[in-house]
Amino acid sequence: MVATEFVHLDGAACEPFRRRGGCVACAEGCPVAAIEAMGDVPTVSETCVGCGSCAVACPVGAIEAKGFGEAADPSPRHGRVVVECARVPPNSIEAGTIRVPCLSGLTVSHLLALRLAAGEASVVLMDRGWCGECSVGKGEAIPAARALVQTRDIMLAIGLAEALVPRLRRTPLKPALRDDSAARGGVSRRGLFRRLGAVGSGTPSRTPVPVTPVEAAPVVRNHLRQVALLRRLSEMHGGLSPDRLVPSLGVSEACNNSGACAAHCPTQALQSWVGEAAEGLSFDPRSCIDCGLCVSACPGSALSFDRSAGRAIRAERTILTAHSIGLCRQCGAQMSDIDADGLCPRCRNGIGMLRNLFSFQASDLKERECHEHT
pLDDT block averages, 10 residues each, the chain of length 374 = 74 76 85 83 85 87 77 58 91 87 89 90 92 73 85 92 94 88 51 41 32 52 84 92 83 91 89 90 88 90 79 78 86 76 82 77 59 58
Taking the C-alpha atoms of residue 187 and residue 195, their distance in angstroms, rounded to an integer, is 11
Return the DSSP state at 210: P
Q: Clarify whether residues 61 and 71 are in a common domain.
A: no
| Three-state secondary structure call for residue 189 | helix
With b for 16 or more beta-carbon neighbours within 10 A and e for fewer, the 341-369 pattern comes to: eebbbebbeeeeeeeeeeeeeeeeeeeee
pLDDT of residue 229: 92
C-alpha to C-alpha distance for 210 and 113, rounded to whole angstroms: 9
Same domain, 27 and 149: no
Do 26 and 146 share a structural domain? Answer: no
For residue 72, what pLDDT is reported?
33
Q: 314 and 356 share a domain? A: no
CA 290 from centroid of its chain's CA atoms = 7
- Residue 278 contacts residue 325 (beta carbons within 8 Å): yes
Domain containing residue 286: CATH number = 3.30.70.20
For 296-315, letters b (16+ CB in 10 Å) and e give ebbeeebbeeeeeeeeeeee
Under DSSP, the state recorded for 4 is: -
Own/partner pairs, 233-237, CB within 8 angstroms, 24+ separation: 233/112, 233/115, 233/116, 233/155, 233/158, 233/160, 233/164, 234/158, 234/159, 234/160, 236/116, 236/119, 236/205, 237/160, 237/161, 237/164
**Residue 285 to residue 312: CA distance in whole angstroms:** 12
Q: 48 and 29 in contact (C-beta within 8 Å)?
A: no
**pLDDT for res 138:** 63
pLDDT on residue 71: 36
The verdict on 83 and 60 lying in the same domain is: no
DSSP 3-state assignment of 43? Answer: strand
Residues 265 and 297 in one domain: yes
**224 plus 133 within the same structural domain:** yes
Q: Provide the pLDDT for residue 210.
A: 37
Model pLDDT, residue 184: 57
Q: Are residues 95 and 212 in the same domain?
A: yes
- Contact status, residue 288 vs residue 325, Cβ threshold 8 Å: no
Beta bridge partners of 127: 170
If asked whether residues 232 and 270 sit together in one domain, one would say no
Pairing state between β 2-3 and 7-9: antiparallel
Which residues, 6+ apart, have CB-to-CB distance to 171 below 8 Å? 126, 127, 128
Residue that is last in its domain, among 309, 324, 339 = 324
Domains of the chain: total? 4
| Boundaries of domain holding 113 | 66-237
Closest CA to 345 of 323, 360, 366, 364: 323
Residues 252 and 159 in one domain: no
How crowded is residue 91: how many other Cβ atoms within 10 Å of its Cβ?
6
- pLDDT in the model for residue 361: 59
Assess whether 71 and 48 both reside in one domain.
no
Q: Indicate the residue among 237, 260, 277 that finishes a domain.
A: 237
pTM of the model: 0.71
Distance CA 251, CA 4 (A): 43
Which of 237, 271, 297 is the last residue before a domain boundary? 237
If DSSP states are collapsed to H, E and C, what string results for 53-113? HHHHHCCCCCEEECCCCCCCCCCCECCEEEEEECCCCHHHCCCCCEEECCHHHCCHHHHHH
Q: For residues 162 and 306, state if they share a domain.
A: no
Give the pLDDT score at 156.
93
What's the pLDDT score for residue 61? 82
Instruction: Report the candidate in 244, 267, 201, 249 with the shortest Cα–Cα distance to residue 61.
Output: 267
- The secondary structure element, H or E, covering residue 121 is none
